[in-house]
Amino acid sequence: MKRKVLSMILAASMLAAVLTGCGGGNASAPAADNAAAETETEAPADTEAEAPADTEAEAEAPAAEGGKIGVSMPTKDLQRWNQDGDNMKKELEASGYEVDLQYASNDVATQVSQIENMISSGCQVLVIAAIEGDSLGTVLEQAKEANIQVIAYDRLILNTDAVSYYATFDNYKVGATQGQYIIDQLKLDSEAGPFNLEIVAGDPGDNNARFFYGGAMDLLQPYIDEGKLVVKSGQTSFEDTATQAWATETAQSRMDAIIAANYADGTKLDAVLCSNDSTALGATNSLEANYTGDWPIITGQDCDIANVKNLIAGKQAMSVFKDTRTLASKVVEMVDAIMKGGEAPVNDTESYDNGTGIIPSFLCDPVFADVNNYKELLIDSGYYTEADLQ
Ligand code: BGC
């Protein structure tokens, strides 16, 4: 029953995404120059209060007229969050706001204390990409009491009524794009098979991970049920395939064990459904070290630089491009509307229930990416330079 309701919610989300796209908006400067941030070290959690290395608000900048906005990002470890944070900061500043941008080292306690500081230092709207969807209820109670509106950024914040809006990409569609790709590439509707599949899902604490998994598995499960797709490891449920913190190393060591137990004898692995690029990188590393058969189809999402290089090298078959400039522009529009006392733009009011009710959402459109269209998507649009991908 629960699954049926989830499927209905997910299907509605997919339909909504087909009907709407993310408005282009005024994309900010190319994110390619942000790639360097990848190598920046994060401030350890306990030094945050003294001299937070991740604090990007410039104390000496003249006080912005528009007011102060807090932007809380999960980590600098993954390329995409650096781009999200930089784009948000640039665009909010260009719209006249002062920005307190913080990265939380993938540590929930750090994120909570950074948000507390944002509340006490006078931020008027909070934009939060949660590390764990379910862990911010208490701190967001404080925001609500202080009349500070909260926009959940990319990841839904669960079980608190302090969240006013949600801005994300259509997460179900990301998974469906990956699942459909595997169906098309293996020609599951015309070939006899059977084909071997393994699954690497995302972080169980991230609400998005279930949407990615659901979008792909709603399409792939019928082929598993009829025996055309075989998961030799036997690991098919979300819980069995989840990857804590989306960590590359965790995905890699799980894949090491799967290969050793099922594919070491030359058995062909046809496809690995990876929910995002960091897990795809883990699967790819493991296959390179341990697998001798024909190279499988590997899916991903985000178009991280390392993974685009793998697309070009033929190691990863596809990714899903989520233009963080577009999401940032949309969130700046939302912030603006809230600060002016109005309602933020949304295009979905049925897909995302956070446990306290539906959160009005804006879903941007994710785009299929592979070796044939990456130049147009990523280079021509100024997201990366040719040099970034060498
Ligand atoms: C995001 C993905 C990202 C993953 C790991 C998800 O919430 O939607 O784009 O790959 O987190 O950071």
Map the chain to HEC letters: CHHHHHHHHHHHHHHHHHHCCCCCCCCCCCCHHHHHHHHCCCCCHHHCCCCCCCCCCCCCCCCCCCCEEEEEECCCCCHHHHHHHHHHHHHHHHCCCEEEEEECCCCHHHHHHHHHHHHHCCCCEEEECCCCCCCCHHHHHHHHHCCCEEEEECCCCCCCCCEEEEEEECHHHHHHHHHHHHHHHCCCCCCCCCEEEEEECCCCCCHHHHHHHHHHHHHHHHHHHCCCEECCCCCCCHHHHCCHHHCHHHHHHHHHHHHHHHCCCCCCCCEEEECCHHHHHHHHHHHHHHCCCCCCEECCCCCCHHHHHHHHCCCCCCEEECCHHHHHHHHHHHHHHHHCCCCCCCCECCCCECCCCECCEEEECCEEECCCCHHHHHHCCCCCCHHHHC
Residue 359 has pLDDT above 50, yes or no: yes
Distance CA 27, CA 367 (A): 16
| Residue 113 in contact with ligand 1 by CB distance below 6 A | no
Query: Ligand 1 atom 5: the closest Cα is on which residue?
Result: 246
- Say yes or no: CB of residue 374 within 6 Å of ligand 1: no
Q: Output the pLDDT for position 266.
A: 87
Does 327 sit in the ligand 1 pocket, CB within 6 Å?
A: no
Residues 6+ positions from 263 with CB-CB distance below 8 Å? 196, 232, 269, 291, 293
| Assigned token pair, 89 | 């900061």
CB-neighbour burial class of residue 144 (10 A; exposed 0-12, middle 13-18, buried 19+): middle
CA–CA dist 186, 329 (Å, integer): 37
Residue 65 burial (CB count, 10 A): 8
93 pLDDT higher than 50: yes
User: Tens of pLDDT along 177-201?
Assistant: 999 999 999 999 999 999 999 999 9
Give the distance (Å) from ligand 1 centre to CA of residue 274: 12
Give me the pLDDT at residue 78, please.
Answer: 87
Closest C-alpha among 62, 152, 125, 165 to residue 339: 125
Beta strand 319-321 pairing with 149-153: unpaired
| Mean of the per-residue pLDDT values of the chain | 87
* Ranges in the chain annotated CATH 3.40.50.2300: 9-160+324-365, 172-321
The structure tokens listed for 80 are 């995409």
pLDDT, tens digit, 9 for 90 and up, residues 133-150: 999 999 999 999 999 999
- Distance, CA 276 to ligand 1 centroid (Å)? 7
13 CB near ligand 1 (under 6 Å): no
Check if 229 has its Cβ closer than 6 Å to any atom of ligand 1: no
User: Which ligand 1 atom is nearest residue 75's CA?
Assistant: 12
Index of the ligand 1 atom closest to the CA of residue 171: 8
Q: Is the CB of 76 under 6 A from ligand 1?
A: no
Is the pLDDT confidence value at 7 over 80? no
Q: Is 275 a pocket residue for ligand 1 (Cβ < 6 Å)?
A: no
Q: Is the CB of 325 under 6 A from ligand 1?
A: no
How does residue 91 score in pLDDT terms, banded at 50, 70 and 90?
A: very high
pTM to 2 decimal places = 0.83
User: What number does the ligand 1 atom closest to the CA of 78 have?
Assistant: 12
pLDDT score, position 10:
43
Distance 341 CA to ligand 1 centre (A): 31
The more confidently predicted of residues 26 and 250 is: 250
* Cβ(54)–Cβ(71) below 8 Å: no
Least trusted range by pLDDT, from 32-36, 270-274, 326-330: 32-36
Confidence band for 220, pLDDT divided at 50, 70 and 90: very high
Compute the distance between CA of residue 248 and CA of residue 95 in angstroms, rounded to an integer: 36
Specify the pLDDT at position 66. Answer: 82
High-pLDDT (> 70) share of the chain, % = 83
CA of 267 to the centre of ligand 1 (A): 31
Q: Is 3.40.50.2300 the CATH number for 9-160+324-365? A: yes
In the reported structure, the alpha carbon of residue 254 is separated from the centroid of ligand 1 by a whole-number distance in angstroms of 19
Output 21 or 233, whichever has higher pLDDT: 233
- Nearest protein Cα to ligand 1, atom 6: 208
**In this model, does residue 41 exceed pLDDT 90?**
no
Q: Which ligand 1 atom is at minimum distance from the Cα of 275?
A: 10
| Nearest Cα residue to atom 10 of ligand 1 | 276
Is residue 228 over pLDDT 60?
yes
pLDDT, average across residues 340-362: 95
Candidates 2.40.10.480, 1.10.1740.10, 3.40.50.970, 3.40.50.2300; CATH matching 172-321: 3.40.50.2300
Smallest CA separation from ligand 1 atom 3, residue: 276
pLDDT confidence of residue 18: 36
78 C-beta closer than 6 A to ligand 1: yes
Report in angstroms the alpha-carbon separations of 229 from 117, 190, 199, 257, 314: 50, 13, 12, 20, 23
Q: Which residues contact 306 (CB under 8 A, 6 or more apart)?
A: 277, 281
Is the confidence at residue 361, as pLDDT, over 50?
Answer: yes
Would you say the CB of residue 302 lies under 6 angstroms from ligand 1? yes
